[in-house]
């Protein structure tokens, strides 16, 4: 970590805070202590970063604020550590990641608790996010013994033509609040086995989760005898992010966030000829065909649309239903939504926690008002929910809105639990509606017709990076590459061959003959 590791007593409650906030602070500090993390504190004259929990809407504590100077120092330490780390054999680097996975398994509940306190996820989803970290560590350990190039036939006798892959350098990771630790692990586990160093700027909304995760990686590195400088954490806001993006020593910037953020980051990295991996917005849709298993479809839709309070990049935001079954589907969904328990995400039985802040709630309310003005009808949910003892929090009931057409508000991603329902008469019409948005992350179709399924997956079907059949739009596994097209950014993280983005490729020709034939039969005298 780049911030000071001086500690102090942070348990004294502010006089005007709620009892819930005091409880959340105590729980967070206890979890961090079990994770072996030191909580940095700002200097007396420093305007620190507030840590606000969406469960109460109040500040738990304040942390140091990293700016451009701190980012410069962190990148310098990472660049220096890279010169040693890149020469460590990949299987040995994999053992560090293996140890990280073991520590995550040991402290799964502690880290999940921080994710719930900072991102508002219900306990099962928070535990699932940490499990995702464990899974990517397993994947990366296997990868550490498989990363490599290939040998191709040479047209010249006595020559060998091959490609080799080498560590890239410093990787800058900018993560979002909604997956505060999993996205970091997707990048970091793979980058480490590829021989890269990592500088992480987490969302300013989820700093404690980042501190806990970084502490476990530092421990894994230290136990293996490697410098913690391979992994750097900077706790900052826009200034820190801008400095990380602009630094020419950062070979790859992997940034997760809004389309607006991506449009600002991309030209800066391109201007210095750096590499860019963007995971941005998703206006994800599912098509429900006449042949669909409606019981299965209902379960898949409800989780994808209402899970994580609609704050996943893969959240289902549009539902395109055949006109012959739309009334039945909407009725089923409305009944399911009526029974969704909204409240404290730590409570047993809760399925929908809070939005991240009041601003997110205001944007949801504004989008619903715009949808109604466009002729939409709210058929379920949409109300603000008051949770006792959490007056500053932003709880809402997920909403279903039937729309007469795909208007501007439908084509624009609102990061909240709003599901817009549209109708179609032909599959071509449904696919056109699915693709007629700027974003291209995730999509799905519910059908028992193999022709419809295959058409949806074909070159004439979904234009998204993820296209599913008979499951929802969310819940991707780490074994496949994760990412999307169009304004989603085109990046790919996690599994498959996404590792290639974290390495540089070299093409090699070896002449082991006594002659010097030229390629393409050129005769140079």
Q: Where in the sequence numbering do the catalytic residues fall?
A: 279, 313
11 to 60, 63, 160: CA distances (angstroms): 9, 14, 66
Report d(CA 197, CA 181) in Å as an integer.
17
Tell me the pairing of strands 399-402 and 377-380.
antiparallel
Query: Distances in Å between the alpha carbon of 35 and those of 149, 205, 351, 517?
Result: 38, 20, 27, 61
Alpha-carbon distance of 42 to 447, in angstroms, equals 56
> Where does residue 480 rank: exposed (0-12), middle (13-18), buried (19+ CB within 10 A)?
middle
Instruction: Provide the phi-psi class of 308: left if phi over 0, else alpha when psi is between -120 and 50, else beta.
Output: left
Strand-pairing partners, residue 167, are: 503
Residue (of 463, 130, 187, 488) closest to 314 by Cα position = 488
Task: Please give the DSSP secondary-structure letter assigned to residue 100.
Answer: H
Residue 130: other Cβ atoms inside 10 A = 25
> What is the rounded CA–CA span in Å between residue 203 and residue 54?
14
Q: Where does residue 16 rank: exposed (0-12), middle (13-18), buried (19+ CB within 10 A)?
A: exposed
CB of 185 closer than 8 Å to CB of 153: no
Residue matched to tokens 């507030």: 50
Q: Are 82 and 196 in contact (CB under 8 A)?
A: yes
User: Which residues contact residue 383 at a Cβ distance below 8 angstroms, ignoring those fewer than 6 apart?
Assistant: 396, 397
389-415 in b/e form (b: 16+ CB < 10 A) is: ebebbbbbbbbbbbbeebbebbebbbb
Q: Are 135 and 142 in contact (CB under 8 A)?
A: no
Judge whether 186 and 140 are in contact, CB under 8 Å.
no
């Amino acid at each position: 970590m780049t911030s000071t590791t001086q500690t102090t007593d942070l348990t004294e409650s502010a006089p005007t805070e709620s009892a819930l906030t005091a409880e959340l602070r105590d729980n967070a500090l206890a979890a961090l202590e079990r994770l072996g993390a030191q909580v940095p504190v700002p200097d007396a004259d420093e305007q620190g970063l507030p840590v606000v929990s969406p469960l109460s809407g109040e500040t738990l504590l304040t942390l140091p604020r990293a700016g451009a100077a701190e980012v410069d120092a962190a990148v310098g330490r990472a660049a220096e550590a890279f010169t040693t780390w890149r020469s460590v054999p990949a299987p040995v680097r994999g053992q560090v990641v293996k140890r990280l996975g073991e520590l995550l398994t040991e402290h799964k509940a502690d880290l999940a608790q921080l994710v719930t306190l900072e991102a508002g996820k219900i306990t099962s989803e928070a535990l699932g996010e940490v499990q995702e970290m464990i899974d990517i560590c397993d994947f990366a350990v296997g990868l550490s013994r498989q990363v490599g190039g290939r040998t191709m036939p040479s047209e010249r006798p006595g020559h060998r033509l091959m490609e080799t892959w080498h560590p890239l350098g410093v990787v800058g990771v900018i993560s979002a609040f909604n997956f505060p630790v999993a996205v970091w692990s997707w990048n970091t586990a793979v980058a480490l086995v590829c021989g890269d160093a990592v500088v992480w700027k987490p969302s300013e909304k989820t700093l404690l989760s980042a501190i806990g995760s970084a502490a476990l990686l530092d421990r894994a590195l230290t136990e293996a005898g490697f410098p913690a400088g391979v992994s750097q954490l900077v706790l900052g806001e826009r200034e820190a992010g801008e400095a990380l993006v602009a630094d020419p020593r950062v070979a790859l910037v992997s940034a997760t966030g809004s389309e607006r953020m991506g449009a600002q980051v991309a030209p800066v990295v391109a201007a210095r000829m750096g590499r860019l991996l963007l995971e941005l917005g998703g206006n994800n849709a599912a098509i429900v065909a006449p042949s669909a298993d409606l019981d299965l479809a209902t379960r898949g839709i409800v989780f994808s649309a209402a899970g994580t309070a609609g704050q996943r990049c893969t959240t289902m935001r549009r539902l395109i239903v055949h006109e012959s079954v739309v009334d039945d589907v909407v009725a089923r969904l409305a009944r399911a939504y009526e029974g969704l328990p909204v409240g404290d995400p730590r409570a047993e039985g809760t399925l929908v926690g809070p939005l991240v802040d009041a601003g997110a709630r205001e944007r949801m309310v504004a989008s619903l008002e715009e949808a109604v003005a466009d002729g939409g009808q709210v058929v379920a949910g949409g109300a603000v929910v008051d949770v006792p003892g959490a007056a500053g929090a932003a709880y809402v009931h997920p909403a279903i809105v039937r729309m007469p057409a795909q208007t501007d508000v439908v084509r624009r991603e609102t990061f909240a639990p709003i599901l817009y329902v549209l109708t179609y008469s032909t599959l071509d019409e449904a696919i056109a509606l699915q693709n007629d948005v700027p974003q291209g992350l995730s999509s799905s179709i519910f059908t028992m017709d193999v022709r419809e399924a295959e058409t949806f997956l074909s070159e004439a079907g979904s234009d998204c990076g993820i296209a599913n059949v008979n499951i929802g739009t969310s819940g991707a596994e780490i074994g496949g590459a994760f990412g999307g097209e169009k304004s989603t950014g085109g990046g790919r993280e996690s599994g498959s061959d996404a590792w290639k983005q974290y390495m540089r490729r070299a093409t090699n020709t070896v002449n082991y003959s006594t002659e010097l034939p030229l390629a393409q039969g050129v005769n140079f005298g």
